[in-house]
């Protein structure tokens, strides 16, 4: 993916999430305003009913003007214009607030015209708080031109409104967390991309720098091996052959690293064709036995005519890598069985070895790039941890499945599951 396209996707995703978050916050603010209005309306109706009840049984009539006045969001004054008892007032307040489903705490005070001051009534806890936890309001302001009136205050109105909007706030917090996770993920992705590019550039430069001196060593070594003094001296000829063989081996590793680095940048192109796989497997066995003649490798198959659509070159490399890996991690005479069977339109290739096995905690990582299991053989075996990664890449490109599991006694079984039609 080009960097400009990636940046566009990141910016669009960021703008979309921020837009949703802003919309959610605006909706939350609007919902808070609506809840505030609803509480105000319910309180107004309840206090009006209390005023009506205080007039019941008296010779006075309720004033034509609305007796309920909202002084502040949490403070109301009710003009009664008639004497009333504090106990009766509290009873009516509790009754009417319960009818209107107002469950927040409130406190009330009454105006005493004789002392010209507000007399504090009580703090009524509808949220079942203990008396010691209730914070009482000290100041109830007087109101001019009124003689018989009482005041009601809701000290926890904001908390009550927030609690009634719990769902909105949880949703807003969830969106903020999603935004933070998105930003962190993008930051991590860009960092990983940067490191991946640095790694690929380093590998490309390193391997290209290795290839030039390796070619010179191979040319010089082959020239030396053809000289008469070298041929006549058995020790010198053996040493020259060792140099040539090790140079070829190192060149093979360099080519493998180059191919992996290239496949990271641009996927490998497979040239598929219909091939009978058993002869290819037999050829890979012959090549691996040139390297390790003592290895015993056998094929168990009910048929030698299994045909697959695959890339011959990469399939042969896949088989060679699996066999080579099984031999390298064996501390006795290598014995490998390649079992080919057909199950439910799936061709199963099992590579069963008698090696040292792998820890159950580490077996899931063996197909990762540059991963090498630390054991008694890993220090003896040369390699970069790319063989099984290459195998996994070839399988993924062809939609094949691959898995590894330890055998019951010793060794590992690596299984290829390939969609198969006759």
Percentages of the chain per state (helix, strand, coil), in multiples of 5: 50, 20, 30
Give me the pLDDT at residue 276, please.
92
- What are 178's two structure tokens? 């999603």
Residue 248: its pLDDT value, please? 78
- Give the pLDDT band of residue 338 (cuts 50, 70, 90): very high
Q: pLDDT band for position 136 (50/70/90)?
A: low
Q: How sure is the predictor about 1, in pLDDT bands with cuts at 50, 70 and 90?
A: very low
> What pLDDT score does 349 carry?
92
68 strand-pairing partners: 78
pLDDT-above-90 percentage for the chain: 6
pTM above 0.95, yes or no: no
**Among 202-206, 248-252, 272-276, which stretch is predicted with the lowest mean pLDDT?**
202-206
Token pair recorded at residue 62: 């309720």
Residue 11: partners with Cβ closer than 8 Å, 6 or more residues away: none
Percent of the chain with pLDDT over 70: 82
Residue 83 and residue 54: Cα distance in Å, rounded? 9
Alpha helices in 132-165 (DSSP H): 157-164
- Who wins on pLDDT, 289 or 172? 289
pLDDT tens digits, 96-107: 888 888 888 888
The pLDDT tens digits of the residues spanning 146-200 come to: 777 888 988 888 777 777 777 777 877 887 888 788 788 888 877 877 777 777 6
Q: What is the pLDDT of residue 213?
A: 79
pLDDT band at 400 (very low <50, low <70, confident <90, very high): very high
Lowest mean pLDDT among 35-39, 41-45, 107-111, 376-380: 376-380
pLDDT of residue 137: 61
374: pLDDT strictly greater than 70: no
User: Are residues 341 and 355 in contact, defined by beta-carbon separation less than 8 angstroms?
Assistant: no
CA distance 357 to 405: 9
What pLDDT, on a 0 to 100 scale, did the predictor assign at position 416?
Answer: 92
Question: Burial level of 334, CB count in 10 A (0-12/13-18/19+)?
Answer: buried
Residue 406 DSSP SS3: strand
Q: Which residue bears the tokens 């005519």?
A: 305
* CA 98 – CA 106 distance, rounded (Å): 12
Tokens in use for 339?
């079992």
Asked whether the predicted pLDDT for residue 133 surpasses 60, the reply is no
Beta bridge partners of 124: 106
Lowest mean pLDDT among 25-34, 170-179, 244-253, 323-332: 244-253
Phi, psi of 332 (to 5 degrees): -145, -165
**Burial class (CB within 10 angstroms; exposed 0-12, middle 13-18, buried 19+) of 78:** buried
């Amino acid at each position: 993916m080009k960097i400009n396209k990636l940046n566009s996707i990141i910016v669009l995703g960021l703008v979309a999430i921020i837009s949703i978050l802003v919309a959610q916050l605006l909706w939350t603010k609007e919902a808070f305003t609506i809840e505030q209005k609803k509480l105000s309306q319910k309180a107004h109706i309840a206090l009006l009913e209390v005023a009506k009840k205080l007039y019941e049984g008296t010779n006075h009539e309720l004033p034509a003007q609305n007796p309920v006045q909202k002084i502040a969001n949490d403070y109301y004054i009710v003009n009664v214009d008639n004497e009333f008892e504090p106990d009766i007032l509290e009873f009516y307040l509790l009754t009417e607030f319960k009818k209107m489903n107002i469950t927040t705490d409130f406190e009330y005070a009454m105006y005493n015209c004789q002392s010209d001051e507000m007399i504090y009534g009580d703090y009524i806890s509808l949220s079942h708080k203990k008396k010691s936890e209730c914070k009482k309001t000290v100041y109830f302001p007087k109101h001019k031109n009124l003689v018989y009136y009482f005041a009601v205050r809701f000290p926890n109105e904001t908390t009550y409104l927030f609690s009634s909007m719990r769902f909105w706030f949880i949703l807003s917090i969830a969106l903020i967390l999603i935004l933070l996770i998105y930003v962190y993920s993008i930051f991590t992705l860009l960092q990983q991309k940067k490191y991946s590019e640095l790694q690929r550039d380093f590998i490309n430069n390193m391997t290209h720098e290795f290839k030039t001196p390796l070619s010179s060593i191979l040319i010089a070594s082959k020239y030396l091996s053809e000289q008469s003094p070298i041929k006549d001296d058995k020790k010198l000829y053996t040493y020259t052959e060792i140099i040539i063989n090790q140079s070829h081996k190192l060149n093979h590793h360099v080519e493998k690293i180059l191919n992996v680095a290239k496949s990271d940048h641009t996927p490998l192109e497979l040239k598929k064709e219909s091939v009978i796989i058993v002869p290819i497997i037999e050829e890979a066995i012959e090549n691996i036995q040139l390297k390790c003649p003592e290895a015993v490798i056998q094929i168990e198959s009910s048929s030698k005519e299994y045909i697959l659509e695959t890339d011959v070159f990469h399939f042969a490399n896949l088989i060679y890598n699996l066999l080579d890996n099984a031999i390298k991690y064996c501390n006795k005479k290598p014995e490998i069985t390649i079992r080919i069977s057909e199950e439910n339109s799936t061709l199963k290739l099992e590579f069963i070895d008698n090696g040292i096995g792998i820890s159950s905690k580490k077996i899931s990582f063996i197909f990762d790039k540059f991963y090498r299991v630390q054991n008694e053989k890993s220090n003896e075996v040369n390699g970069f941890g790319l063989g099984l990664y290459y195998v996994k890449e070839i399988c993924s490109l062809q939609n094949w499945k691959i898995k590894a599991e330890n055998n019951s006694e010793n060794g590992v079984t690596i299984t290829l599951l390939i969609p198969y039609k006759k």
